[in-house]
Amino acid sequence: MKVALIPIILFFFTNQIVFSNEADCVDCTTGSLQNCSKIYIEEKNRSLKRRKSIVEISVKSDPENTHAEVFQGYIEELNEVRSCQKQLGIDPERCSLGFRFKQKENEHYEISYDLSFSAEKNNVCIFHPFRSWSVTNMDKIQVVQYLNGAWLPKGQNFCQTRKGNITYKTSRQFNIFDKENGSGILILDWYEEHTLANNPTPIISDSRVSQQIGKRINLKRNSRINVKYGRNIEFMTTDGHTITIDKNGLIINSSIMDPNMYGDKCKTSIWKRGSRSRPYFSPKIELTPEARDLSVSTVRG
């Protein structure tokens, strides 16, 4: 019931404020005001606080799917305040509108949200969402991080690959991205160290610098990704694939990738321009039979 009432509350509140502002605007597009004064600014700031409280309720009710229309009234009124402040020679209010809060998803995971919804462009505040959050387990260990459409599991997978008399150790990074223009999985292998056949002592060189060739597994067109929290975290694509991450941030099951890709048997392709050049590292891709129709592309860093 509370969630259902939110759009009604927002509509009522927003429209009441807008109606009261119509007489104040000479040009509401640019925010030029005829009744500009410090008293006017104080009244508007009180109104903005009320608006922000209503917006905050909406954001916290569904932090991962808040749309632009929720913020439109707040940003318009903020621009009016800024315009008046500029006319009076007062430093304008900042365009920042953000919220930081934590929510317990279930008995296994807690999510810390860091959300921003506005920015300044050409001296005007605009809707500009930046969404970031971190999922931790009940031991306060970070399991996965989300940043503007990409999920980064935090568990570490290490691969060992032998080339000639050298054994390379690399760490594998997975990025599960959900975008309107294409979703999929980006995989990168990062150099950690290497050993020589006649000397087990690890050697760390400068191979880490700009030597990655990533691989991207592309989901089918228009496929999107949903997340389900249980004992584990499950990523489910709208075309029927799943990726499961455990409480330590490790991939433990996938209908897309063969277990060799995320287990301790993972291998890295190693390529060098010449005998003295630094090696390039690229993950070896092995798809499951049910994912053989998915395309794989190369991403050079």
Beta bridge partners of residue 147, listed in sequence order: 132, 150
Residue 278, pLDDT score: 78
DSSP state letter for 24: G
Cα separation, 96 vs 94, in Å, equals 5
The first and second tokens of residue 133, run together, are 């959050």
Residue 58, pLDDT score: 93
Q: pLDDT band for position 77 (50/70/90)? A: very high
Residue 13, pLDDT score: 37
Residue 209, pLDDT score: 54
The first and second tokens of residue 114, run together, are 């860091």
Q: pLDDT band for position 9 (50/70/90)? A: very low
For CA atoms 17, 19, 23, 28, give the dihedral sign.
positive
User: CB–CB of 145/154 below 8 Å?
Assistant: yes
Report which of residues 203 and 39 the model is more confident about: 39
For CA atoms 112, 117, 119, 121, give the dihedral sign.
positive
Q: What residue ranges do the domains of the chain occupy?
A: 2-140, 150-300
Q: Where are the alpha helices (H) located in 22-71, listed in sequence order?
A: 38-61
Indicate the range of 126-135, 143-152, 162-171, 218-227 predicted with least confidence. 162-171
Closest C-alpha among 284, 287, 286 to residue 189: 284
Q: Is 57 exposed, middle or buried (0-12, 13-18, 19+ CB in 10 A)?
A: middle
Q: pLDDT band for position 208 (50/70/90)? A: low
pLDDT over 90 (residue 115):
yes
